[in-house]
Amino acid sequence: MFKQKYYYPGLIIISLLSICAVLPESILAQNVDEKMKQAGEYYRNGEFDKAIETYMQLENKGYEGTSLYFNLANAYYRVGKLGLAILYYERALKFSPSDEDVMHNLAFANLSTVDRIQPLPTFFLFEWWETLLTSFTVNGWTYLAYTIFLILIIFIVVYFFAKTIFQQKLILFSVLGILVVLFVIISLLVVKINREETLVSGIVIEQSVTVKTSPDIKSTDAFVIHEGIKVNLEDKIDNWVKIKLADGKVGWIEDNAVEKI
């Protein structure tokens, strides 16, 4: 039998709207790929300034990601702008905390910094906690929590289909273990979110900066730091930023001397 298809105006309009919504995204993705390839060609040809300019065009349009920041950092390192190189390595690391290439280049760039700041000693358990906490991004911990939760639901469902007491006990102990793991992951996620909201870090991008004891150009000099050093940004007054170093030193610098990661 011949089957007639009916096309309703509403469905046609929805389809057209869907196509119109998808097309700009695909065009944007194509433009981004072209720009990345072009910047890559500049980099391979040793035209690092042109590569930086092209990468910056993408960033200024709101594009971000590990690949963009990593390549931009490499280009900045090639032209001798150590502070900006470390800044973008750090930004790339925020997107991919476990990326070995990013970590390797960041460590290599840090070897070129002038300042050798010795962090305050911490208890080894706190060091383990920090390592575990930074192993995933907020999204990574969220996805992991969802996955563990789904596994928990599956085990609970399987429990009601268990045929023997032994199977039920085994599943029950497994559920308790999963609950403990889920609690730990959720705790890590909460701490990670809280830290990203409260703890703001930055990289000094000026070659040499004199840190002041107060937000005033006429105040006493506290100490001198150099480009590439990582600091915590604790407060801001007008065009002055209060910074804290890993060794506990605090002071004020002008905000154009540091960039937020």
pLDDT of residue 153: 94
Strands 208-212 and 230-237: unpaired
Domain ranges of the chain: 9-110, 124-198, 200-260
pLDDT of residue 29: 63
pLDDT of residue 122: 67
pLDDT of residue 5: 36
State in words which class domain 200-260 has.
mainly beta
Q: Residue 92: which of 101, 82, 79, 81 has the closest Cα?
A: 101
Architecture of domain 9-110: Alpha Horseshoe (1.25)
Residues above pLDDT 90, as percent of the chain? 63
Classify residue 140 as left (phi > 0), alpha (psi -120 to 50) or beta. alpha
Residue 95 backbone phi and psi in degrees, to 5: -80, -35
Helical axes 48-60 vs 9-44, angle rounded to 10° = 160
Which residues on neighbouring strands pair with residue 208, listed in sequence order? 226
3-state secondary structure 119-161: CCCCCHHHHHHHHHHCCCCHHHHHHHHHHHHHHHHHHHHHHCC
Question: How many CB atoms sit inside 10 A of residue 81's CB?
Answer: 20
pTM of the model: 0.70
pLDDT of residue 26: 56
Question: How many CB atoms sit inside 10 A of residue 26's CB?
Answer: 9
DSSP classification of residue 164: S
pLDDT by residue, tens only, the chain of 261 residues: 333 333 334 443 444 445 455 445 555 566 888 999 999 999 999 999 999 999 999 999 989 999 999 999 999 999 999 999 999 999 999 989 889 999 999 999 999 999 988 776 766 777 787 788 888 888 888 999 999 999 999 999 998 888 888 989 999 999 999 999 999 999 999 988 887 777 889 999 999 999 999 999 999 999 999 999 999 999 999 999 999 998 889 999 999 999 999
DSSP classification of residue 106: H
> Is 159 exposed, middle or buried, given 0-12, 13-18 or 19+ CB atoms closer than 10 A?
middle
Q: Residue 80: which of 205, 201, 202, 203 has the closest Cα?
A: 205
Please list, in sequence order, all residues whose beta carbon lies within 8 angstroms of the beta carbon of residue 127, skipping any fewer than 6 positions away: none
Question: What distance in Å separates the CA atoms of residue 196 and residue 179, rounded to the nearest whole number?
Answer: 26
Average pLDDT, the chain: 86
Question: What distance in Å separates the CA atoms of residue 75 and residue 84, rounded to the nearest whole number?
Answer: 10
Structure-token pair, residue 155: 């085990």
Question: What distance in Å separates the CA atoms of residue 253 and residue 217, rounded to the nearest whole number?
Answer: 9
| Dihedral of alpha carbons 46, 49, 50, 51, sign | positive
CA 110 from centroid of its chain's CA atoms: 18
> Is 222 exposed, middle or buried, given 0-12, 13-18 or 19+ CB atoms closer than 10 A?
middle
DSSP classification of residue 198: H
Structure-token pair, residue 188: 């890590």
pLDDT of residue 236: 93
pLDDT of residue 14: 44
